[in-house]
Amino acid sequence: MAVYKKTYRPYDGGLTSSWTRFLTIPRYAFEDLHRSRFLTIFYIATFIYPLICALIIYVQHNVSALGLVGVPGANRLISINVTFFMSVLGWQSMLALFLAAFIGPGQVSPDLANNALSLYLARPFSRVEYVLGKLSVLVILMSLMTWVPGLLLFGLEGYLEGFGWMQDNARLAFAFFAGAWLWIVVLSLLALALSAWVKWKPVAGALMFGVFFVAAGFGAAINVVQRTKWGHLLNISNLVGSIWLRLFEGDAHTTNGAVFFRVAQGEDLPLWCCWMALAALCLVCLYMLARKIRGVEVVR
């Protein structure tokens, strides 16, 4: 019907699958994010480090390239090992934290501030789908800057080094993938929960950093005062770093973790404690979301 025929008519066309309907939310969110020049530039900049790493891998396997720049023996100085991949994961994860702090607060708070939730949930669209939709905005963006380039680097190294290397180091790929997902899930849930509770975006963004850095400082103070290591339970990057260390190297680790996610020597917590602390944090975030994501707010 042409728009000039101003009349109401019922809809009798087909409907989309209810399983994939939540992906409507990230599609609209990406269009919105794309309008921000700062975010676009920042996001592109996050790929610089993986590109440099890809270049390092290429140069390391290309003797003639090394000869060209006058350092023929330099390939012996560069080693593509667990430290290399952990440092890629560490850098990219830190950038993911900044990204989550920039875009996370804008996910739920505008909907809450303008009562848009009642409109979302008055449709055949559940609270779980709403949260999944909002989560997927963060998950997709952070995946593209963490485990996707990580696995591509692993693939490139495997391609240049040979299939045997890939087989021997399959653990690196799994650790990268699982470690990045752990970080993404924690960050996404925390960003959404803060966005749902703090309606002012800059404050929600600042709180993201606060949860990571202020809590870590508080934990360190507890450690010093109480002469204990349990204060690290408040340090999310320490908890994640401990799990990464086990994922990459197992119990007999030779390093002290990824950059920005270092685990102080002799102060590492039992693995199950780290998992439990992160699981508790995720549950708290889910509870916070469940309390706020409602069609209408009930004042009892």
Partner 1 sequence: MDPVIELDGLEVRFGERIILNRLKAALTGRSIGLLGPNGAGKSTLINTLLGFHKPSAGTARIFGRDIRTHAREVRSLVGYMPENDAFIAGMSGVHFVRLMAELAGLPREHALERAHEAFFYVGLGEVRYRALGTYSLGMKQAAKLAQAIAHGPKLLFLDEPTNGLDPPARVRMIQLIQEIRDRGDLHLILSSHLLRDVEECCDEVLILKDGKVAAFCNLEEERRANRRFLEIETRGEANGCFLEAMEKLGCETAPGAQGRVKLIMPDGLEVRRLYQVAAEQNVQIRRLSHKRDSLEDIFLKAMETANGRL
CB of 200 to partner 1, least distance (A): 14
Nearer to partner 1, 116 or 283 (CB): 116
**Which residue ranges make up the site for partner 1 (CB under 8 A)?**
1, 3-4, 6-16, 18, 21, 24, 28, 32, 110-111, 113-116, 118-126, 294-296, 298-300
Between CA 250 and CA 153 the distance in angstroms is 22
State which residue, 110 or 210, has the beta carbon closest to partner 1. Answer: 110
In angstroms, what is the minimal distance from the CB of 130 to partner 1?
9
Q: Indicate the residue type of 35.
A: R
Task: Answer yes or no: are the C-beta atoms of 193 and 201 closer than 8 Å.
Answer: no
Pinpoint the alpha helices (H) of the chain.
24-34, 37-45, 48-60, 63-68, 82-103, 105-113, 117-121, 127-145, 147-161, 163-168, 170-197, 201-209, 215-226, 236-249, 271-292
Quickly count: other Cβ atoms within 10 Å of residue 51's Cβ.
11
For partner 1, the closer CB: 6 or 76: 6
Question: Closest distance between partner 1 and the C-beta of residue 96, in Å?
Answer: 24
Rank residues 15 and 224 by Cβ distance to partner 1 and give the closer one: 15
Nearer Cβ to partner 1 (16/167)? 16
The DSSP line for 191-246 is HHHHHHH--SHHHHHHHHHIIIIIHHHHHHHHHHHHT-SGGGGG-HHHHHHHHHHH
Tell me whether residue 126 or residue 255 sits nearer to partner 1 (CB atom): 126
**Shortest Å distance, C-beta 142 to partner 1:** 22
Those residues whose C-beta lies under 8 Å from the C-beta of residue 166, and which sit 6 or more positions away, are 154, 158, 173
Minimal distance, residue 119 CB to partner 1, in Å: 5
For the bound state, the minimum distance from the C-beta of residue 83 to partner 1, rounded and expressed in Å, comes to: 43
Query: What distance in Å separates the CA atoms of residue 121 and residue 99, rounded to the nearest whole number?
Result: 28
What minimum distance in Å lies between the beta carbon of 222 and partner 1? 38
Q: Which two tokens stand for residue 264?
A: 């102080």
Closest CB to partner 1 among residues 128, 214: 128
Which residue type, as a one-letter code, is found at position 82? V
62 close to 54: Cβ distance less than 8 angstroms = no
